[in-house]
Amino acid sequence: MESLIIQGGNRLKGTIPVSGAKNAALPIMAACILCEGETILHNVPDLRDVRQMCVLLNRLGVETERDKSGALHLRAEDEMNCHAEYELVSKMRASICVLGPLLAKRRKAQISMPGGCAIGDRPVRLHIQGLEALGADTDLVNGDFVMKAKKLRGSELFLGGAFGSTVTGTANVLMAAVLAEGRTVIESAACEPEIVDLADFLNKCGARIEGQGTPRIVVEGVASLHGAEHTVIPDRIEAGTFMIAAAVSNGELTLKDCRIDHLVAFVDTLRRVGLNIEKGDKGVNVSSSRRLDPTEITTQPYPGFPTDLQAQTMVLLSLADGNSVITEKIFPDRFLHVAELNRMGTRLRKEGPTVIVEGVKKLVGAPVMASDLRASAALVLAGLLAKGQTRVQRMYHLDRGYEKIEEKLKAVGADVRRVTDSI
């Protein structure tokens, strides 16, 4: 197991390239199950989750290969296997994205309950409901969902849940609907940029999708899809994390390939707190004022404040001059990072789905344990500003969603190094 050692206090300055979006790349990779011929994907990040998805797709008969330029080539060669087995699915939440494509193309899908980060319950009920509305039958066999359909037919369906629209549920139903007979209308569809990117890719492959980016997506089914060439959008969560890195280090960073239009609510919040964020000739320039103002944040489905930037923003608000309030409306249990941050000197008080953040003058380095992907990013940010040394353990969480993060931070002045933990 590996850890990241951080010597805090360095001011970050320079340019950081933003990698391709993990949460866009994974469902697009799964969608290649639907396609005849080769697909070439550019800007796919080299991440633990991406490599895991390649292994899963290989088991499902999809060949995957990176060329010298970094482009990922995918081609479905064998359609016999429809079983996404527990040993693979338990390691990665996004494995559920193969459900819709398998059902639509191979008329059967068997998949275990997915794994991923420990951020609270994330049921797949809406995925199943949506696919059943298209004509699928569902059984539970030895802990696996088994879905079958002789033919999928278009339908009008609703995908809203207790905590808003389901992003991966929208992706699954969308991928199944493109090969369904007739017209499908998805109401309360997720509006995230990653869903738009998936729909844009599918349209390049011959699908007929309209309304992506709105709560109402309309799909006219087609008989088949072909492979296509596509460039994955930049990762808005990685970009947001580095914006906060600039602020907590009192630094100045330029983020290359940053889509600021994908972060409107987040950027608005940062500007209110005291960050300067402007588009420049070479990217998005980020710096901060010496005094940070407290604020109130509520996470919401897109285009609201993203839950995947809640933990990182908590670190920033720990430096604000006053008390801030963060309410988590997407995953109410997503606060495992609170105890670890308090070990470093933050003053965080959890009250149900809300955390009260009392601003402090400084943080101190400490050994801390990452509990999930975004919590690990928050601990790294805290380590960058803390006095002394911080050791972030369980780096495998960070490797699921941040490509070469220590190299990117080193390049702009951070004192970080990866080490292998002794047993």
Q: What is the pLDDT of residues 100-126, one digit of tens each?
A: 999 999 999 999 876 444 434 446 889
For the chain, which residues make up each domain, given as ranges? 2-19+235-420, 22-231
The pLDDT of 298-315, averaged and rounded, is 96
Catalytic: which of 32, 82, 117, 205? 117
pLDDT of 123: 64
pTM of the model: 0.95
* Percent of the residues in the chain that have a pLDDT greater than 70, as a whole number: 97
CB atoms < 10 A from the CB of 139, how many? 10
Q: Is 191 a catalytic residue?
A: no
**CATH for the stretch 2-19+235-420:** 3.65.10.10
> pLDDT averaged over the chain?
94
Among 252, 374, 248, which Cα is nearest to 315's? 248
**Token pair 């088991």: residue:** 59
pLDDT of 117: 43
- Is the peptide bond prior to 123 cis by the omega test (within 30 degrees of 0)? no
Instruction: Tell me phi and psi for residue 55, to 5 degrees.
Output: -60, -45
Cβ pair 151, 181 in contact under 8 A:
yes
Q: How far apart are the C-alpha atoms of 252 and 44, rounded to whole Å?
A: 27
Tell me whether domains 2-19+235-420 and 22-231 share a fold. Answer: yes
pLDDT exceeds cutoff 90 at 190: yes
pLDDT of 334: 86
pLDDT tens-place string over residues 329-379: 998 888 989 999 999 999 999 999 999 999 999 999 999 998 888 899 999
The pLDDT of 408-413, averaged and rounded, is 98
pLDDT tens-place string over residues 20-33: 999 999 999 999 99
Task: Name the superfamily (CATH) of residues 22-231.
Answer: Enolpyruvate transferase domain (3.65.10.10)
pLDDT tens-place string over residues 203-240: 999 999 999 999 999 999 999 999 999 999 999 999 99
pLDDT of 92: 83
Question: How, if at all, do strands 183-187 and 156-158 pair?
Answer: parallel
Instruction: Beginning with the edge strand found earlier in the chain, give each strand of the sheet holding 137-141 in spatial order.
Output: 83-84, 108-112, 144-148, 137-141
